[in-house]
Amino acid sequence: MRPAGWEDDERERMSSTDPYRNPDPDPDETPGLEPGGGVAPGDTPPAESSTSGASDRQPGTGSTRSNWIAYGVIGAFVVLIGLFFVGYAIGLLD
């Protein structure tokens, strides 16, 4: 059970840059909504936030040096396997 006034304290604590903030409008503060969340006939429903506004922060990328090391190791492995098949094709390996 939450203490009384918990929602108000939580709402004040959350800022617009909080990554866990709900992007949808607060139904208690949205004008034009009837009880239960309905909209009066002829009234425009409230807009929702786009999914791009709710995206997670992207993790930092690794260093380019470690990427090139990985490319070199993979490339050397591919060349080694290629030389194995060439040697097998010309009969060096029986």
pLDDT, residue 70, reads 93
One domain for residues 81 and 45: no
Domain that holds residue 35: 1-49
One domain for residues 68 and 43: no
Question: Does residue 55 form part of some domain?
Answer: no
Rounded Cα–Cα distance for residues 19 and 56 (Å): 7
Question: Does residue 56 form part of some domain?
Answer: no
One domain for residues 45 and 7: yes
The predicted model scores a pTM of 0.35
What does the pLDDT look like over 26-82, one tens digit per residue? 767 767 777 777 777 777 765 665 555 556 677 777 788 888 999 999 999 999 999
Would you call 24 helix, strand, or coil by DSSP? coil
How many domains are contained in the chain?
2
pLDDT, residue 12, reads 57
Amino acid sitting at position 80 = L
